[in-house]
């Protein structure tokens, strides 16, 4: 089982130090606290005191044992003697990634898959599938599951779990609903009862362009400008629509990087990007840690260091992924930082993916600057800049699955358009959104009201935490605050953090996201989404946290 | 530093994995640049390469108008809006999965039941196939696929997954045999390729035939003996319009002992309900690990909850579903009969079929010689001069030249009549071996082309739609509402 565990560590699920089997790899990674967060274990080995020797000996040894294992367990003598060479060819650059891929092969699942009816043995599924089937036990997913099993409801289930772990916005849904009730009657198949309207059933039933209807692209471009307060205009022909931001990120991953290549991602970053980006593409993520001392702001020096380390390892870095407003911290990237990012990308000849999915959900007065604006104002080869957007957050319609790739690179657009055949937006939803987004008066009012409500909730929530002596970083955007509970954890490490998380989930019954799920290198930080609440819920949440705090007092 | 484009994009982005270089797509381009319209462009290319089913649109339209609440986006349905708009769980709305499971059973004559917990959603059958390939095979692994097979497989299954397809060549009767499968399997073994499974379409695309019980049973035994997966694409299940009827693999599983972990079904509403624009694809796997994994993977191609809700309401209306299935089969039968009869009058035969939205047309006797080149040449004549976008057998990897897939359900009756007239005229004229008429054709064609380019522009202004296989904008086809 060693290798299976090993893979999960590599997958950066925050559970490394709890699994005894991984400790050999992990503790060599330099010792002390940093060891805990080693993302690619072998990377850790190489950088740590073990140095190059261990870094090469361990993988070789593991690989050798694996081959032995495969040889011994090839039960069917008639099967082709497929040499390990064939299995290892696909990924060539990183030996660790390769190793773990193979180690996932057929084993962890073979036993449960053995059907009593089958006489010939287990059904082998792919190692890609094996790698993920059991990976859900990261706290982020555990928490979400817990809420879905026992959701809080003021009247029906007052003892249920309160959701603070999902970045969805319930604050302004009434506005959308009212619009629909008044206006949407004919938006799907137009023309009312006559059936002879401009848009008949064939306008939604038949094949439509996979990358989205042009009318919707025009409407989305308008919405994006509106959300960014007119500071920049978007060209609809540079838009590719996908079924949510999840496939948008993945498609960019497929287009910009080959298996084994890597993206630099400033951490903490939002938890699901690991799965969204890496799983099927075979692309790697190199977290670039930001620190509380700098208010978790991005440092070009750290990026540069990570880039050079990757280069030394022989790993090709294809780009950098930022989220702006940042998820989970909630800070914005200012103009200067964006310019230096662009310079950095140019110097290293890599791409920039800017996830701006919260652009319209800003708090307070700080100005949001889109990467598109920087590109507009700068004489810069735009081909390397790609923006990800969606309607899940700013229009609070995650169920509608509309994601946006906005790129300046014709080749990326061409490939992405073709790749949308695997994940396009269903036509009835497109038609509906076209009429909604084209109602500019409604949209303006929506954005304004939503911002207002968001700001109010944020202030109340943060004030509530403050009364409990829990401080948050100053947030300028997003549906969450980034709360510092490091003073409340029993031991200043990931274990301590997860202990507190567990208490919050199981005793206080609130689901927050622990910093370790976001690859935060400092323990004790938590992301709390407040947009799933109503104002009435805030005292309940604070009450529940308070109860847990009392049990934590012993430390101080 | 200069931006070096080629080095900076992935192999997937710059390779031809999308497969749109093959001649099959030229037909699409020909259609896209000059689409037929009964009034605006009566000389345009008629689209017969698109397996769409619009014969029963009136029934669906009527239902949607009668049930305005179903779309949740009207005053009647808006109470459901809040929960639906927020729901982003990749399991899919429970009512959606229940309705799909029930519908799948109904389409298969209620002889089998499907477990809603095994229904995994994906972005169309395209997404479903890719998802299964991701789940079942690693880069370099292979699937056996009996030829002729749907050309999109080459792209959908291989492009991002790195999986290979190994064509299984069957005898000229287009009947799948175990001998052929064994041979293909052994060949792969000899080449040191790991075969992970077998993919079949039943009813067959492009043949329109169904697999009989014996064949299905032998397939199951085959994959069991080899311990490889069986992916059954049953997206044409409800298009069966005559005997022999359709037998689902799920029925066979009830009858015989086998390892169920090896069996996976791909389904969709694009053909059976004629709703490709809704992008509803389904993976139904009997393997728990695959269900589990595919569910997580479905985040990359979820169907909008609004559409899920609409579909759930529509498919839960038993009366409507029963009427739809019956009526659809009836109309397909009529269309198939009219079309094949029209072809038979000029001596063109088709492979006998009982399902699908197309026929497998036999033009072998019109070939100059029995080669793929001759077939492609004939096909270009059909595109350029007869002005029909049909799909040549070679694009389906058919080993015998001279066969063409012709779709007949994506048009109204009048368009079909025009298409038939064109084919008949063409066949009658090509019987004359002299050269002059051919020359005349060319000139006529040239004149027409220049004349038409202006019209074409007008049409391009219309709300653009695109064919599922081509990046070029299309005109509104022949969808004159009745």
Q: Quote ipTM for the complex.
A: 0.83
Residues of B annotated as catalytic (active site), given as ranges: 150, 233, 235, 271
d(CA B353, CA B207): 7
Contacts of A124 in chain B (CB under 8 A): 196, 227
pLDDT at B121: 94
- Give the residues across from B200 on adjacent strands: B232
d(CA A402, CA A264): 26
- CA A506 to chain CA centroid, nearest Å: 25
pLDDT at A125: 82
pLDDT at A121: 63
- Best CA proximity match to A33, nearest among A54, A17, A45, A21: A17
Is A460 an interface residue toward B (CB < 8 Å)? no
Taking CA atoms, A130 is separated from A133, B105, B437, in Å, by 5, 30, 63
Using CB atoms and an 8 Å cut-off, which of residues 51-110 of chain A contact chain B? 76, 80, 82-83, 86-87, 89-90, 101, 109
The secondary structure of B394-447 as a DSSP string is GGGT-SSTTEEEEE-SSS-HHHHHHHHHHHHHHHHHHTS--SHHHHHHHHHHHH
Of all residues in chain B, the one with the smallest CA distance to A393 is: B86
Is B305 an interface residue toward A (CB < 8 Å)? yes
- B85, A203: Cβ pair inside 8 Å? no
Q: Where are the alpha helices (DSSP H) in B265-412?
A: 288-297, 305-316, 318-345, 372-381
CB B197 within 8 A of CB B163: no
d(CA A163, CA A504): 11
- B86, A120: Cβ pair inside 8 Å? no
| DSSP character at residue A135 | G
Per the model's pLDDT, the better-predicted residue between B11 and B460 turns out to be B11
The distance of B91 to chain A (nearest Cα, Å) reads 12
Both structure tokens of B471:
């990046």
Q: What is the pTM of this model?
A: 0.81
Per the model's pLDDT, the better-predicted residue between B472 and A295 turns out to be A295
Mean pLDDT for chain B overall: 85
Q: Is A192 left (phi over 0), alpha (psi -120 to 50) or beta?
A: left
Give residues with Cβ within 8 angstroms of A410, minimum separation 6: none
The model's pLDDT over A510-554, given as tens digits with 9 standing for 90+, comes to 999 999 999 999 999 999 999 999 999 999 999 999 988 887 755
* Dihedral sign for Cα atoms in the order B206, B207, B208, B209: negative
Cβ-in-10-Å burial (0-12, 13-18, 19+) of A31 comes to: exposed
> B321: pLDDT confidence band, cut at 50, 70 and 90?
very high
- Residue from the list B279, B297, B463 with its beta carbon closest to the beta carbon of A424: B279
Contacts of A113 in chain B (CB under 8 A): 261, 287-289
> B23: pLDDT confidence band, cut at 50, 70 and 90?
low
Helix-then-strand count for chain A, H and E: 22, 13
> B390: pLDDT confidence band, cut at 50, 70 and 90?
very high
pLDDT at A15: 36
Is A378 an interface residue toward B (CB < 8 Å)? no
| DSSP character at residue B240 | -
CB A123 within 8 A of CB B262: yes
> B399: pLDDT confidence band, cut at 50, 70 and 90?
confident
Q: C-alpha angle A36/A39/A41, rounded to 5°?
A: 85
- Give the residues across from A323 on adjacent strands: A355
d(CA B130, CA B266): 10
Residue B257 has pLDDT above 50, yes or no: yes
Contacts of A90 in chain B (CB under 8 A): 138-140, 162
Residues of A annotated as catalytic (active site), given as ranges: 270, 355, 357, 393
- Please tell me whether residue A495 adopts helix, strand or coil conformation: helix
Report which secondary-structure segment, H or E, holds A313. Answer: helix A300-313
Radius of gyration from C-alpha coordinates of chain B: 23
Q: Mention the CATH class of domain B68-316.
A: alpha beta
Output phi, psi for B151, to 5 deg. Answer: -60, -30
The model's pLDDT over B407-445, given as tens digits with 9 standing for 90+, comes to 999 999 999 999 999 999 998 888 644 444 434 443 434
Q: Which residue has the tokens 């640049």?
A: B33
Q: Are strands A471-472 and A385-390 parallel, antiparallel or unpaired?
A: unpaired
pLDDT at B64: 86
Is B260 an interface residue toward A (CB < 8 Å)? yes
Q: Domain spanning B13-58+324-479 has what CATH number? A: 3.90.1150.10
d(CA A455, CA B36): 55
d(CA A286, CA A24): 21
d(CA B251, CA B421): 42
Length of chain B: 482
* Dihedral sign for Cα atoms in the order A487, A493, A496, A497: positive
Using CB atoms and an 8 Å cut-off, which of residues 316-355 of chain A contact chain B? 318, 346-347, 349-351
SS3 sequence, A511-532?
Answer: ECEEHHHHCCCCCCEEEEECCC
Residue ranges for chain A with pLDDT beneath 50: 1-51, 53, 74-120, 191-198, 555-556
How many C-beta neighbours within 10 Å does residue B429 have? 14
Using CB atoms and an 8 Å cut-off, which of residues 310-349 of chain B contact chain A? 310
For residues B36, B39, B42, B46, the Cα torsion angle rounded to the nearest 10 degrees is 20
Give residues with Cβ within 8 angstroms of A329, minimum separation 6: A268, A290, A296, A473, A475, A482
The model's pLDDT over A228-238, given as tens digits with 9 standing for 90+, comes to 988 899 999 99
d(CA A142, CA B35): 53
The distance of B208 to chain A (nearest Cα, Å) reads 21
Contacts of A136 in chain B (CB under 8 A): 296
- B293, A400: Cβ pair inside 8 Å? no
Q: Which residue has the tokens 């066979």?
A: B252
Cis before A308? omega within 30: no
The model's pLDDT over B148-179, given as tens digits with 9 standing for 90+, comes to 999 899 989 999 999 999 999 977 678 899 99
For residues B348, B353, B358, B363, the Cα torsion angle rounded to the nearest 10 degrees is -30
Report which secondary-structure segment, H or E, holds A289. Answer: strand A284-289
- Please tell me whether residue A390 adopts helix, strand or coil conformation: strand
Indicate the domain borders of chain B. 13-58+324-479, 68-316
């Amino acid at each position: 089982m060693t290798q299976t565990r090993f893979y999960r560590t590599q997958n950066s699920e925050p559970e490394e130090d709890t699994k005894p089997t991984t400790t050999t790899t992990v503790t060599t990674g330099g010792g002390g606290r940093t060891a805990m967060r080693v993302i690619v274990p072998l990377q850790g080995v190489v950088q740590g005191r073990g140095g190059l020797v261990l870094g090469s000996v361990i993988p070789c040894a593991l690989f050798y044992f694996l081959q032995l294992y495969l040889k011994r367990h090839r039960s069917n003598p008639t099967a082709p003697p497929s040499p390990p060479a064939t299995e290892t060819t696909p990924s060539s650059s990183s030996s660790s990634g390769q190793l773990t891929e193979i180690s996932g092969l057929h084993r962890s699942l073979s036993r449960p898959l053995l059907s009593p009816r089958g006489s010939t043995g287990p059904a082998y599924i792919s190692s890609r599938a094996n790698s993920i089937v059991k990976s859900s036990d990261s706290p982020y997913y555990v928490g979400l599951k817990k809420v879905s099993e026992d959701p809080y409801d003021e009247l029906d289930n007052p003892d249920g779990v309160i959701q603070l772990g999902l970045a969805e916005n319930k604050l302004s849904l009434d506005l959308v609903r009212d619009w629909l009730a008044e206006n949407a009657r004919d938006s799907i198949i137009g023309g009312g009862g006559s059936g002879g309207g401009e848009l008949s059933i064939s306008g939604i039933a038949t094949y439509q362009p996979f990358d989205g209807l042009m009318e919707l692209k025009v409407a989305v471009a308008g919405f994006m400008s509106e959300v960014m307060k007119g500071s920049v205009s978007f060209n609809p022909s540079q838009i590719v629509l996908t079924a949510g931001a999840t496939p948008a990120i993945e498609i960019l991953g497929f287009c910009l990087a080959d298996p084994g290549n890597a993206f630099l991602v400033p951490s903490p970053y939002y938890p699901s990007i690991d799965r969204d980006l890496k799983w099927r593409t075979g692309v790697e993520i190199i977290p670039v840690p930001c620190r509380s001392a700098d208010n978790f702001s991005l440092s070009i020096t750290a990026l540069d260091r990570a880039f050079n380390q990757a280069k030394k390892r022989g790993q090709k870095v294809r780009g950098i992924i930022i989220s702006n407003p940042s998820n989970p911290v909630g800070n914005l990237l200012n103009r200067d930082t964006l310019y230096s990012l662009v310079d950095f990308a140019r110097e290293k000849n890599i791409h920039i993916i800017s996830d701006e999915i919260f652009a319209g959900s800003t708090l307070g007065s700080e100005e949001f600057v889109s990467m598109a604006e920087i590109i507009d104002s700068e004489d810069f080869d735009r081909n390397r800049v790609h923006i990800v957007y969606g309607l899940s957050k700013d229009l609070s319609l995650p169920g509608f699955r509309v994601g946006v790739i906005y790129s300046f690179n014709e080749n990326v657009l061409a490939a992405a358009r073709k790749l949308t055949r695997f994940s396009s937006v269903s036509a009835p939803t497109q038609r509906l959104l076209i009429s909604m987004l084209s109602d500019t008066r409604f949209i303006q009012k929506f954005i304004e009201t939503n911002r207002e409500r968001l700001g109010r909730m944020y202030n109340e929530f943060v004030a509530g935490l403050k009364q409990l002596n829990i401080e948050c970083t100053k947030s300028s955007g997003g549906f969450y605050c980034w709360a510092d509970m490091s003073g409340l954890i029993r031991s200043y490490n990931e274990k301590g953090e997860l202990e507190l998380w567990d208490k919050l989930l199981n005793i206080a019954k609130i689901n927050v996201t622990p910093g370790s799920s976001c690859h935060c290198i400092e323990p004790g930080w938590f992301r709390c989404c407040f947009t799933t609440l109503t104002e009435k819920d805030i005292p309940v949440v604070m009450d529940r946290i308070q109860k847990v705090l009392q049990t934590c007092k012993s430390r101080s | 530093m200069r931006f070096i484009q080629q080095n900076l994009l992935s192999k997937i982005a710059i390779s031809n994995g999308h497969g749109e270089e093959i001649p099959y797509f030229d037909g699409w381009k020909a259609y896209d640049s000059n689409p037929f319209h009964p009034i605006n462009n009566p000389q345009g290319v008629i689209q017969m390469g698109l397996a769409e089913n619009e014969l029963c649109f009136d029934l669906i339209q009527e239902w949607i108008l009668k049930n305005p609440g179903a779309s949740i986006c009207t005053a009647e349905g808006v109470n459901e809006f809040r929960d639906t708009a927020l729901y982003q769980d990749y399991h899919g709305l429970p009512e959606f999965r229940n309705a799909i499971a029930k519908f799948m059973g109904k389409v298969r004559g209620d002889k089998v039941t499907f477990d809603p917990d095994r229904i995994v959603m994906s972005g169309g059958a395209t997404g479903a196939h890719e998802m299964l390939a991701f789940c079942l095979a690693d880069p370099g692994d292979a699937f056996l696929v009996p030829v002729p097979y749907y050309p999109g497989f080459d792209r959908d299954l291989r492009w991002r997954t790195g999986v290979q397809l190994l064509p299984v060549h069957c005898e000229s009767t287009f009947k799948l045999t175990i001998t052929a499968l064994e041979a293909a399997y052994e060949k792969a073994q000899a080449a040191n390729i790991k075969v992970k499974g077998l993919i079949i379409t039943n009813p067959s695309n492009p043949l329109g035939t169904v697999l009989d019980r014996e064949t299905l049973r032998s397939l199951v035994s085959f994959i069991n003996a080899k311990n490889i997966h069986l992916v059954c694409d049953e997206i044409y299940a409800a298009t069966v319009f005559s005997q022999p009827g359709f037998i689902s693999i799920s029925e066979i599983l009830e009858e015989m002992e086998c390892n169920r972990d090896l069996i996976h079904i791909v389904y969709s509403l694009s053909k059976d309900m004629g709703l490709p624009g809704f992008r509803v694809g389904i993976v139904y796997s009997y393997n728990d690990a695959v269900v589990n994994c595919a569910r997580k993977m479905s985040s990359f191609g979820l169907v909008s909850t609004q559409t899920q809700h609409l579909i759930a309401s529509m498919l839960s209306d038993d009366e409507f579903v029963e009427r739809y299935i019956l009526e659809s089969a009836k109309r397909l039968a009529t269309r198939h009969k009219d079309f094949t009869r029209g072809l038979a009058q000029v001596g063109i035969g088709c492979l006998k079929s009982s399902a699908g939205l197309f026929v497998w047309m036999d033009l072998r006797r019109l070939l100059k010689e029995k080669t793929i080149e001759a077939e492609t040449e004939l096909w270009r004549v059909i595109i350029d001069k007869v002005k029909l976008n049909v799909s040549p057998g070679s694009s389906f990897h058919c080993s015998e030249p001279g066969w063409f897939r012709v779709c007949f359900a994506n048009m109204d009756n009048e368009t079909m009549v025009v298409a038939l007239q064109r084919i008949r005229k063409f066949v009658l004229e090509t019987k004359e071996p002299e050269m002059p008429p051919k020359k005349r054709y060319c000139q006529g064609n040239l004149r027409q082309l220049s004349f038409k380019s202006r019209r074409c522009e007008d049409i391009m202004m219309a709300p653009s739609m695109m064919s599922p296989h081509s990046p070029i904008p299309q005109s509104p086809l022949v969808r004159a509402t009745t």
